[in-house]
Copies of this chain bind each other. A is one copy, B any other.
Amino acid sequence: MGKRIGKQTVRLSEGVSIISAASTVGPKEAEGPLGAYFDRTVEDAFFGEKSWELAESRFVRENMNLAVDKAGLKMKDMDYILCGDLLNQCTGSTFGIKGFSVPFFGLFGACSTMGESMSLGAMLIDGGFANYVLTGASSHFCAAEKQFRFPLPLGTQRPPTSTWTVTGDGATVLARKGEGPKITEITTGKVVDMGVTDANNMGAAMAPAATALLLAHFEDTGRTPEDYDVIATGDLGTVGRQLVVELMEKDGYKMDSRFTDCGIEIYDDASQDTHAGGSGCACSAVTFCSYFYPKLKSGEIQRMLFIPTGALMSPTSSQQGMAIPGVAHGVVIEGCKGEGEKK
């Protein structure tokens, strides 16, 4: 049984273990600063398929299988799958998992999906409804550009505020019992629309939602940023992160170097020409699964606030002149007692 500890935050009764995490990415991510951390990298973004959409589904399928393998379990042990993606009607996910024969809840939280899937998955387990839940999120640069902006062969110039959609899939297996970092609290975001209309500046569109989530979380828990070893948003990039720092300062919170963003970690703009950073559902998903998860497992990180962020726009809404609402989902993860504790 969970417990509400504030308007947007719940505390799990015993914590839900993240018993495995897996990441599979494309060639550009493999060349970035996190290259050595990913479980699997694929040389060609088509991944042996005939379309980018089918390639994304293959990332989902193979990486979710890998997450289950790494947990020492079989797919039939999973009680639910919760995942989503950016493609129209979430076909990256549905075509990816359709062969698994596991009860499925499809999610749409744009790039906040990894936070949404881990939040709902943890609550289903803590509420007594499941022993194992497979959660995940995916995106694909080529499929996303084609769908949201322009066909790639046009070679459209990208403004400095733009971010680069991550190609890949991140997935975790959540469990009632088992070794691993624990999800202990969940702060669920509201949709925030501050009127940003620039589809090439997702960081600015999502920063108000990330800020609102941070403020709600600190109010609900009585904590401050210093209570965390790492606070990592999803895909604000350099532009969005800076906005959050400024907005939080107005409310009296100092966000120092322990506050990072997965979109800043995953690429090196100087050598990779990615501009403001990484984005897409897979950005926070693969960065968490590859880079942060092992540090939580080793105890190097003792408490993390993971906040995948999403921009809730469609090409249709942008073409109709609508602004871009944002959302952010916060998950508190406590690291394993280990090396970190001994420090």
Contacts and interface: CB of A to CB of B under 8 A. Distances in A.
Classify chain A: how many residues form its interface, as a range: 35 or more
B106 A116 contact: yes
Given A124-B123, A127-B123, A312 B91 contact: yes
B87 A316 contact: yes
A128 interface: yes
B105 A106 contact: no
A107 to B, nearest CB: 6
Interface string A89-113: 1110011011011111111111000
A193 interface: yes
Of A3, A80, A108, A109, chain B has the most CB atoms within 10 Å of the CB of A108
Nearest to A82: B120
Interface string A311-325: 011111100101001
A203 to B, nearest CB: 18
Interface string A121-164: 00110111111000000000000000100000000000000000
A192 B284 CA distance: 29
3 pairs of A and B residues whose beta carbons are closest in the complex: A127-B127, A103-B188, A89-B314
Interface string A285-314: 000000000000000000000000000111
A108 B127 contact: no
A84 interface: yes
Determine how many copies of this chain the complex contains: 2
A54 interface: yes
Interface in A8-22: 8, 10, 13
Given A98-B325, A314-B91, A190 B123 contact: no
A1 interface: yes
A53 interface: yes
A277 interface: no
Contact of A2 (B108, B127, B327): B127
Contacts of A101: 190
Given A84-B108, A98-B325, A100-B191, 12 more contacts: A4-B129, A88-B316, A94-B327, A98-B312, A100-B190, A103-B188, A103-B189, A105-B120, A106-B107, A106-B108, A108-B108, A123-B123
Given A80-B188, A188-B104, A129 B95 contact: no
A200 interface: no
